[in-house]
Structure 1
């Protein structure tokens, strides 16, 4: 039997269990079965203590029968007598009542005798709460020992487990001991399991060989063997991924690109001389790195992440000006029209007459900044496309409209992608493909990414981080307004907004919906079930309708904010309407802007000091942090009020408390990742390795990932083709050829 043998070969005639494994777990081969690892272990020699039951979930515990009763009842449907065996099971933690319904008294007596008082065994079933007690209905049981000290009916299985019972991810009609027995057969019969880790790598990192690790993880003598086996499999997984990324980085370095040294241009020099503020140390450091990489004859591929308001746009603009000085063009791709228009306005304003290239009043070394969005009129669009194609536009700002086939560039030298997690792989590839030679690429995000996420998911990009905030950024106080316990706080929220407006300031109010019956994009950033935080759970209908922009704005005008200039902003307005509203708000002609998450990124109004987020539990941690960053930008202290009807002690409230507790985006990103897993945090388009992360977790396994990256670089430096490690090379090639690798190739 080999790892490629059908899984049916270890099941014999047990078609029910085989189908459960094949169809329910998706395991088709013996190799896949052996790599279906236990998620935890229970000690069969002692009663369970770390049990935290949750209603509706499957639990597996080691317990002792404290009492046993046989009761007769009349079945209401058949009007025939039935028999019920009720057993009270005690652990070192909670107690459970296990109940079996049986049609014949002899069957009931046999079941009761099997579970005599004092018997110890494994009890597995779905847990429910009934009459203030935890219930296990029709659980599956393995009895190891009787109360009289004699061995139980399943003592042979107990002896084979060596004190530790593996608990596997399961499906219906399948129990952990069923899978454990099957895996044991496979481990005895399988041969030809290939070792992917070279002996010297295992030696350097003190890792067991693959067969030893498989035996230790499925049938361990103790937890030390479990830990060693897990470490081996996590390291192997991390190493393969880091090898893929390291080879991608090497391939990028080998590509030819036009060096952008600045030439004889003085645009950047003039811009720096006019800056009304000093760059932070972080901005200067990152700027020097970008300048050096742009001057190299191979493409720059860099991820620039930084806190909200850390000055990423200025850093990116200086890089764009360096490319324009070199005779090339730079493009900035934004995810929304609101953000693209904001970038266009702010870049044009920062450049002043340096943005007046070819126009009356333009500076001698000026360039032209051109905007291209999908909603522009035909004449505007054609004029913009002509500027881009002829090279008149040195800097181009736009949305997805830039990706269309008819948009061509004169000499595209730098692609800047803002809020890159909003774009899919193919979209970014479509833009970089418009250059005659591979362009330099700078992707930016204001969503802080933990170091190991960057190393694992964005590992083909070099990473720069801006942590220092520019001078003039004021602190932001964040408070949760829990309407479930304190409904009167809603009145105080609007009083605070009115007070800020009376003081001459402005405010945002963010709602999850435009109208009350349609879901908006902002809700998708929260876990599937905002009250449970359960991964993959179906969304639970809110107790009352979510706050909608079109409903709340008139209520505020007629009630608590009467006399205040209130306007709305959301995705259903035309681009002209959105632009007009944002211009009026920026000019101070609007006091309160009631909006959806279209104001999440890029919107910069210095006089805005307050943001109220309605139904804040419907948003994820990263999104709340982004929204909060809209205030405190003009030297005035900011205030963020998170309004929620979520109950206390729920995961939703814990998320809000985490946001209120710190303004450190990197700390919040770790909390977010711990709650929602890396693929969800980064978005479906960014989770290129989500399906591949089997045993690896980017926060828990930080040391492993760092060690694997160092090992990958060492291996490739000595043997770029991995000729001395053919199995490892094959694994790397498989990943490179997979759909996951499409992300890496085009990111």
Structure 2
């Protein structure tokens, strides 16, 4: 971690059997693997405060048996109940059909128990917990369940000395074959033999404990609690990410790009586009166009992220930048994640250019193109006849050569990897690096942007263009038939007024799937209307034909899966019914909803769910319905999915890079790390490279949003 690791094998410190079991569970057999396996929780003192625990929580207590009684249940089962008193709190432990336990846990016995907490009336109790008898000196102890593994690490007396010496008792995540007790004992053995760790940064960062203190304290906190040690570990994790990005940013700054300053007067396609708009641009659009224009004017390659919620006008901003590059005699490439989106981008850009009277040629390249058409497109690209090239991954294949590529635009950045993103930038053989603009319609909280796009400057669009109407969102509980019926009535009313509707399903087949819904709507509910169907299994040409018919208004209701999540622009669609909305993620629901409300009419999104109203799933859908603030929803999504999914950092080369860092709550640490990383790369690049040297080149895809 950040310049520190040890190759010493765990089996050199603890017995071979538990060492092998722990190594298999952790996926590594060194002491580094063990010490970077952090506790998931802590019990303060000799156990957790039972009063603060909830039913079902696993609690651990050490205390003395102060009471015991033997009874028989109505079914004739032998039941032995003890009261364990830690001096601060009491808990009852109940054992069934285990008469030997009455001898092992007699009154006066000191023991440690661990099990799931329950309550009988108001009394806390554990049902058949694991336990360890802590014997008097010279006596033999007893261990049960997972605690039996502790016998391999020492006598009960030695283990009691360890457990009672801990201010906070750590609880470790485990897999089959291991227990938290095993990891606890292994960590203690490792720490006893671990020499002081040198500070990887040379000096301890101000405001943090040393790295040596942090590694020891995260496992065995003192009176300060685990937080002060966890903060240093979090800082190291944030700094590791920030250094990789800062190095990438510095490498980008060393490259040379073709300068493309604004062209003034009648020769400027960019000016003509903006002057001919039928609406007033938002202040945000004007600002971001200025930022991009300034970047393109220099020989330092632009590396900018353009984020904007659905409907904020990112495509117009990107087109203005592309035309500035075309004005300077160069080509632009727009990379889109799907053929549908690439085709629609091509049509949209062409229409905007034609409306503005701009002489710029748009060429679309997709994998399913007819060979003859593809060959012509490739010829137009290599000869410079194509000014703006829109394509899917097909643009990344061999055989696609640009005449003079000056700008690469990547739409829906999270659908592409960094390697894919940079392949077009590295396609020139003259040492020139095209400018780069990446776009995303998924709003990114600042902390995520800093840890995943730290190599990019960030521009944000938040205002909706004039004339756009807000979307009213309503949750439709499935257990209220009248609400479901009213949903279809509202769709009929919207269509009667000349509008169109989306009906979105989570699956293609099965109950509630797109196929079933299509047949139900077309044959039973709306036989008088034109109902279309589109999903991922349809051939590409059929999909595009259905989309085109819907965009042209010949289809009243389009039943679809998430293939319409991005890139579908039908201003006449004013109502969306999302079936089983609880089966979609927060960002998915927000993106789907963004397919309506794109015109001047008020729009309505109806989110159906069969989940109970007191469930987390229902609450999540309700939260999405309650706001259209994409940044608020992105934070909600982040809290639900945690950073591993958002960052793509859960695994990298088999090792977790982010274990403790919380992108919602640790913003201050992340900002500090980003600033420190930038300073370190500027003042001591060699040390910065050494600190992230364990991140092999092929492993650096943990920045990749896949």
TM above 0.5, yes or no, is yes
The verdict on how the C-alpha distance between 1:689 and 1:468 changes in structure 2, with shifts beyond 3 A counting, is: farther
Contact 2:452 2:647 in 1 (8 A): no
The verdict on how the C-alpha distance between 1:281 and 1:410 changes in structure 2, with shifts beyond 3 A counting, is: same
Contact 2:307 2:459 in 1 (8 A): yes
Q: Distance in 2 between matches of 1:93 and 1:582?
A: 66
Alignment of 1:509 with 2:503, yes or no, is yes
**Secondary structure at 1:721 match in 2:** helix
Q: Distance in 1 between matches of 2:82 and 2:239?
A: 49
Q: Distance in 1 between matches of 2:650 and 2:411?
A: 15
- Pick one of 456, 460, 464 that aligns with 2:459: 464
Q: Distance in 1 between matches of 2:188 and 2:563?
A: 55
Look up the match of 1:422: 415
Look up the match of 1:455: 450
Alignment of 1:366 with 2:359, yes or no, is yes
Provide the alpha-carbon RMSD of the alignment. 3.5
Q: Distance in 2 between matches of 1:689 and 1:604?
A: 41
Alignment of 1:715 with 2:675, yes or no, is no
**How do residues 45-56 of structure 1 correspond to structure 2 at under 5 angstroms?**
47-54=49-56
The verdict on how the C-alpha distance between 1:65 and 1:720 changes in structure 2, with shifts beyond 3 A counting, is: same
Q: Distance in 1 between matches of 2:407 and 2:605?
A: 36
Stretches of structure 1 that go unaligned for 5 or more consecutive residues are 76-80, 355-362, 517-544, 723-727
Q: Distance in 1 between matches of 2:564 and 2:11?
A: 55
Alignment of 1:208 with 2:209, yes or no, is yes
Superposed displacement of residue 612, structure 1: 0.6
Look up the match of 2:200: 196
Look up the match of 1:725: none
- Pick one of 685, 690, 702 that aligns with 1:730: 690
Contact 2:649 2:703 in 1 (8 A): no
Contact 1:613 1:641 in 2 (8 A): yes
Contact 1:679 1:687 in 2 (8 A): no
Q: Distance in 2 between matches of 1:378 and 1:129?
A: 71
- Pick one of 291, 295, 302 that aligns with 1:289: 291
**Secondary structure at 1:305 match in 2:** strand
Look up the match of 2:95: 99
Look up the match of 1:671: 636
The verdict on how the C-alpha distance between 1:634 and 1:95 changes in structure 2, with shifts beyond 3 A counting, is: farther
Q: Distance in 1 between matches of 2:651 and 2:464?
A: 27
**Secondary structure at 2:509 match in 1:** coil
**How do residues 97-246 of structure 1 correspond to structure 2 at under 5 angstroms?**
98-99=94-95, 102=98, 105=99, 107-113=100-106, 116=107, 122-125=112-115, 138-142=128-132, 156-157=160-161, 160-191=164-195, 193-199=197-203, 201-202=204-205, 205-222=206-223, 224-246=224-246
Alignment of 1:500 with 2:494, yes or no, is yes
The verdict on how the C-alpha distance between 1:184 and 1:389 changes in structure 2, with shifts beyond 3 A counting, is: same
**Secondary structure at 1:208 match in 2:** coil
**Secondary structure at 1:733 match in 2:** coil
The verdict on how the C-alpha distance between 1:34 and 1:571 changes in structure 2, with shifts beyond 3 A counting, is: closer
- Pick one of 498, 515, 525 that aligns with 1:560: 525
**How do residues 191-590 of structure 1 correspond to structure 2 at under 5 angstroms?**
191=195, 193-199=197-203, 201-202=204-205, 205-222=206-223, 224-262=224-262, 265-352=267-354, 366-436=359-429, 437-483=432-478, 485-516=479-510, 545=511, 547-590=512-555
Look up the match of 2:150: none
The verdict on how the C-alpha distance between 1:36 and 1:318 changes in structure 2, with shifts beyond 3 A counting, is: same
Contact 2:168 2:225 in 1 (8 A): no
Superposed displacement of residue 581, structure 1: 2.2
**Secondary structure at 2:209 match in 1:** coil
The verdict on how the C-alpha distance between 1:172 and 1:590 changes in structure 2, with shifts beyond 3 A counting, is: closer
Contact 1:89 1:97 in 2 (8 A): yes
Q: Distance in 2 between matches of 1:687 and 1:499?
A: 52
Q: Distance in 2 between matches of 1:97 and 1:368?
A: 78
Contact 1:248 1:745 in 2 (8 A): no
**How do residues 52-67 of structure 1 correspond to structure 2 at under 5 angstroms?**
52-54=54-56, 59-60=59-60
Q: Distance in 2 between matches of 1:457 and 1:612?
A: 34
| Corresponding residue pairs, total | 677
Superposed displacement of residue 650, structure 1: 2.0
Q: Distance in 2 between matches of 1:140 and 1:4?
A: 35
Superposed displacement of residue 184, structure 1: 2.6
With the length of structure 2 as denominator, give the TM-score of the two structures.
0.87
Q: Distance in 2 between matches of 1:67 and 1:645?
A: 49
